[in-house]
Amino acid sequence: MKYINWIRSFLLYLSAVLCSMTSYAQDSLRSSNLPLVLISSPIIPIPDEPKINAHIAIIDHHTKRNFVKDTPTFESDMLIETRGSSSQSFFPQKSFSLKFIDSTGENYNASVMDMPEEHDWILYAPYNDKTCQRNVLSYLVSNEIGMYASKTKYCELYINGDYQGIYVWMEKIKRDKNRVDIAKLDSSDLSSEDLTGGYIFKIDKTTSAGGEGCLSNYPTSTGPHLVYQYEYPQFEDLQDEQKNYLCSYIDSFEKSLVSPLYRDTAKGYRRFVDVNSFFNYFILNEISRNVDGYRLSTFLYKDRNAKIHIGPPWDYNLAWWNADYCQGSWDNGWSYQFNSYCPTDPFPVPFWWDRFLSDTGFTNALKCRYSELRRNVLQEKQLFYWIDSIAHITDEARARHFAKYPILGKYVWPNPSPLPQTFEQEIAALKVFIVLRLRWLDDNMPGTCRISNSIEGSKDEYQLFIHPQPVKDICFLNTPEGHLDEIRVYSIDGKDQSVGYEKDPTQESVFKLHVEKLNPGMYVLVGFIDGRSFTAKLLKLE
């Protein structure tokens, strides 16, 4: 067996060398400021299940440029397969799941891309996200609010010498001291506290290779009963006692939610779940208006002698104004109410979110958590800084990426309309969405927070009023405080408009705007005051 594995490894290595001598040698100047990932595969296209043997080389000089002709800074045999659902069928750029292995075929842990060592990794293809950053931004925000999400790093990928574009190297969700840090559950852990954790499970689409799990005893509002799918340990590794324990615990949680005493802090659902993790998860899904939120790619975990936590967050490529169905592009409304406006979708939101939000104890604490985050992590100024910083990382590589995939200004499922025509407009449209979304949430987040310096005490302090409406050439902007740090005007497709303005010397707290050069239509005016943004809609006539 070892002899066969040695031959396999040698052939993969030889394939990598030949690939490097032919394809890469044709253009020795190919280089990037990003890490380069070079995959040599004996089978093209790389299939989805089972994983195939391949070879990976990474060139990552950190502060120096990386050339495809350079000696790799890391190499390994690996197993690889394509991953994803819609992306596999519709998109030319594929995502991959890969596992490092040694010469004997055993798992091989290694530290790459400045991340803690592991053998399981994801190469994510941001094809239908033209900002290339919605997942990266979501995971960054998640980590900043104290909820672990996968570490990420941009790279550029070549497969057998062919350029594949910008990718995001990501940690795969799994039990690990540096990922989901819960107790290791062995097959011998069958009783007492050993049986209580750790487990990872999820709500997601079922596939032919998965879907085993705990069937809920309670229907969703649209009918189907959810299956809580086993993630760790995997189905074939779980003992019957462990399956029974996890399913019984989930059932007890759901039973507590339908009980008349569900609001009771001692007898209700709080016995079974860590509510703070649910606050963070709710806020992340709602600020991003995630059309897949709560119902797909939703992970949960339970440590030993601990309650259920929700997370880590996963798969936000259709969030942040990037879905043209089921209100995914709306800046108002609730993502958790998905079932009410897409009742025929086969993957509904669990019933427990409606129950949570009917509990004033839950909503009051949620409001306080949201108010706290809006004062720091979720300020528009902070979010815009992260967006610009992330975009800067791909400044150089984007030219190659969009030359490979000339999709800017073109519809790629499920991009909403109107379609931004440039990358800069994509970024501007994302920012416009964030401004409008946060303003709506400020006004509509349920609950009452009694913290005196929360945002709800000041949300009306800086109302912006434009008059007259509609406007033809000149309009006036009233601000109660009489000052603005900056005024920006955006068309609804995210284009930043050039609009002149000055303070009106004849009226206190009034700015005069010159909009005669704007085309007729609806615009969003954004005023920045003390690090926060405030909005007003502007209707321009002929």
DSSP string of 412-439? -TT--SSPPSSHHHHHHHHHHHHHHHHH
Is the bond preceding residue 45 a cis peptide, omega within 30 degrees? yes
Q: What is the token pair recorded at 515?
A: 């909009």
Phi, psi torsion values for 112, nearest 5 degrees: -135, 160
Q: What is the token pair recorded at 52?
A: 């195939």
pLDDT of residue 523: 86
> Strand order in 532-540's β-sheet?
496-497, 486-491, 521-529, 532-540
**Cα torsion through 143, 130, 436, 364, rounded to 10:** -30
pLDDT digits (tens, 9 = 90+) for 365-410: 999 999 999 999 999 999 999 999 999 999 999 999 999 999 999 9
Instruction: Identify each DSSP E strand in 9-50 by its residue range.
Output: 31-32, 36-40
pLDDT digits (tens, 9 = 90+) for 248-291: 999 999 999 999 999 998 999 999 999 999 999 999 999 999 99
524 vs 497: CA distance, rounded Å:
10
Query: In terms of DSSP bridges, do strands 500-503 and 95-101 run parallel, antiparallel, or are they unpaired?
Result: unpaired
Q: Work out the mean pLDDT of the chain and round it to a whole number.
A: 89
Identity of the residue numbered 380: E
pLDDT band at 19 (very low <50, low <70, confident <90, very high): very low
68 vs 25: CA distance, rounded Å:
9
Q: Per 3-state DSSP, what percentage of the chain is helix, strand, and coil (rounded to 5)?
A: 30, 25, 45
Q: Is the dihedral of CA 279, 284, 288, 292 positive or negative?
A: negative
pLDDT digits (tens, 9 = 90+) for 312-360: 999 999 999 999 999 999 999 999 999 999 999 999 999 999 999 999 9
39 vs 34: CA distance, rounded Å:
16
pLDDT digits (tens, 9 = 90+) for 117-130: 999 999 999 999 99
pLDDT digits (tens, 9 = 90+) for 27-66: 444 899 999 999 999 999 999 988 999 999 999 999 899 9
Q: What is the token pair recorded at 281?
A: 């998860």
pLDDT digits (tens, 9 = 90+) for 464-476: 788 888 888 899 8
Q: What is the token pair recorded at 182?
A: 């819960």
404 vs 390: CA distance, rounded Å:
21
User: Which of 138, 134, 139 is CA-nearest to residue 115?
Assistant: 139
pLDDT of residue 240: 97
pLDDT of residue 451: 53
Using an 8 Å Cβ cutoff, are 285 and 294 in contact? yes
To the nearest whole percent, how much of the chain has pLDDT over 90? Answer: 73
Using an 8 Å Cβ cutoff, are 198 and 232 in contact? yes
What average pLDDT does the segment 503-513 reach? Answer: 82
Q: How many helices (H) and strands (E) does the chain have?
A: 11, 22
- Give the ranges where 23-92 is alpha helix by DSSP (H): 86-90
Identity of the residue numbered 472: K
Query: In terms of DSSP bridges, do strands 66-67 and 74-83 run parallel, antiparallel, or are they unpaired?
Result: unpaired
**Cα torsion through 64, 69, 72, 76, rounded to 10:** 150
Using an 8 Å Cβ cutoff, are 269 and 256 in contact? yes
Most confident of 200-209, 301-310, 448-457: 301-310
pLDDT of residue 530: 64
Q: How many CB atoms lie within 10 A of CB 26?
A: 8
Helix 275-287 and helix 423-444, axial crossing angle in degrees, nearest 10: 130
pTM: 0.84
Identity of the residue numbered 411: Y
- DSSP code of 503? E
Which residues neighbour 430 within 8 Å (Cβ) at sequence distance 6 or greater?
A: 131, 320, 321, 387, 494
